Amino acid sequence: MTATITGSAGEVLKTKKRVLTRRGQTCNQRCYFCYFLNKISNESHPEHAFMSFDKAKQICKTLVDFYHNNAIDIQGGEPTIYREILDLCQYCHDIGLYPTLITNGIALSQEGKLEQYRDHRLRDFLVSLHGIGKVHDQVVGAPGAYGCITKALEGMVRLGIPRRINCTMSKPVVPLIPEIARKSIEYGALAVNYIAFNPFEDQKAGIRTHENVPRYSDLRGPLTETLDMLEEAGIEANVRYVPLCMAEPRHRKNFYNFQQLPYDTHEWDYESWMWTMMYPQRMRDSSLNATYRLGYGASGLYRSDAFQRRDAFEQSPVKGRIKYGVQHVLARVESAVRGRDVLYREEAKLRASVDCGYRYHDGCNRCALKNICDGFHGDYADLFGTAEAKPATDLRPIDDPLYFIKDQVKVVEPEDKEWAM
């Protein structure tokens, strides 16, 4: 059965069916407010400069042809300052990748800009609204940014361009979380993502402090009010990287830890994500590395620093082709035998435990949600400890990552309409 609603953003398909996402992403890191900050501020960083248009196109084509992705988030840093961004949007559309721009909205406040993106077949904007008024300006470090972002959002409403909202929950933003939901309703956002201020990538230590990182338990009240409000308004809401015990039971369906993330159709596909996040794909001056599949040997390849920087593929193309050819075959066999969902879940657990050093409190051992919850980000645990854990003891142990999120209504890409309700 297909159900649609029509809003100011046009026809929107929604679903409760959870399938592995096919959304890819590419990036060349130039953002001034995020985990790419170090690369932005350091001009000699190998990932500082934008990649060429040809390289960006090669990556996009690989996402379609090899990884079978159907949507892409284009981020920079700030993608609207990339010279060929309009042509890249058109290119993605033409090869079957719905293009989304993750943007701070500043450039989009200029007259006529939004119309250009619409005419180059942009699918939607994911707008980074990290506060209201002066708080937004302060958090993003740009006076006047809030005026620009609201002008851009108003323009999207006027032109009927779909928009979603991202909000990083740094400490000054916490009291404004419900207000951001009200703004999202006012601007007719299709979805709102509230993201914990956790570090990722090679973000330098010391950026996060007691002054700018809120306690998870302080998020509970504002998030409860907010999620009720967005539910009532029929807007998809997602909370990312926060322990499940910080949710009211009725809101557990909105909480995405690493094990739930691959089923968020607005999030990135782990398989292509592993490939696009390798340094050769992100640097201006490097040819693309060989593709590889999730499964046999992938984790070792992805987490090998030598591999990330430059694989032996270039030094010995013949050996490289054999190596990756074998990897493709063995990973396919493993996926067929064990199932793709199993492989995605294993990768999710590695992202939490190995990449981010997530930790559990002793009490988590009594918690029915432990098998599907990441616990506390390692960096957070260093700042605040893990004593806020509130084990769920009134349920039988749950081992299905979809157990709660299968009850959430999500927006679907038009190409995935077979999933729609």
Query: Residue 64 or 245: which CB sits closer to ligand SF4?
Result: 245
Among 152, 356, 389, 405, binds ligand SF4 (CB under 6 A): 389
SS3 call for 145: helix
Quickly tell me which residue has 């830890």 as its tokens: 257
Among 162, 178, 295, 375, binds ligand SF4 (CB under 6 A): 375
Does position 367 interact with ligand SF4 (CB under 6 A)? The reply is yes
Q: Which of the stretches 56-64, 73-81, 278-286, 384-392 binds ligand SF4 when contact is defined by CB under 6 A?
A: 384-392
Query: Residue 332 or 406: which CB sits closer to ligand SF4?
Result: 406
Does position 164 interact with ligand SF4 (CB under 6 A)? The reply is no
Does position 378 interact with ligand SF4 (CB under 6 A)? The reply is no
State the minimum distance, in angstroms, from the CB of residue 391 to ligand SF4: 4
Query: Residue 173 or 246: which CB sits closer to ligand SF4?
Result: 246
**Spatial CA neighbour of 272 closest among 123, 49, 60, 88:** 60
Query: Residue 88 or 364: which CB sits closer to ligand SF4?
Result: 364
Does position 390 interact with ligand SF4 (CB under 6 A)? The reply is yes
- Strand 10-15 and strand 410-412: the pairing is antiparallel
Among 183, 370, 377, 410, binds ligand SF4 (CB under 6 A): 370
DSSP string, 216-233: HHHHHHHHHHHHHHHHHH
Q: Any residues with CB less than 8 A from the CB of 238 and at least 6 apart, and which?
A: 191, 192, 193, 194, 254, 256, 264, 266
Residues in region 232-261 near ligand SF4 by CB under 6 A: 243-245
State the minimum distance, in angstroms, from the CB of residue 247 to ligand SF4: 9
Tabulate helix, strand, coil % of the chain (nearest 5).
45, 15, 40
State the minimum distance, in angstroms, from the CB of residue 374 to ligand SF4: 7
Does position 120 interact with ligand SF4 (CB under 6 A)? The reply is no
Number of residues that bind ligand SF4 (CB under 6 A): 16
Strand order across the 191-196 sheet: 23-27, 71-75, 98-103, 124-128, 163-169, 191-196, 236-240, 255-256
Among 189, 364, 398, 420, binds ligand SF4 (CB under 6 A): 364
- Which residues are paired to 26 by β-bridges? 74
State the minimum distance, in angstroms, from the CB of residue 371 to ligand SF4: 8
Give ∠ CA 80-72-259 in degrees, rounded to 5: 125
Angle between helices 216-233 and 177-186 (to 10 degrees): 20
* Backbone dihedral angles phi then psi of residue 383, each to the nearest 5 degrees: -75, -45
Read off the DSSP letter of residue 80: G
Residues near ligand SF4 (CB under 6 A): 243-245, 360-361, 363-364, 367, 369-370, 373, 375, 389-392
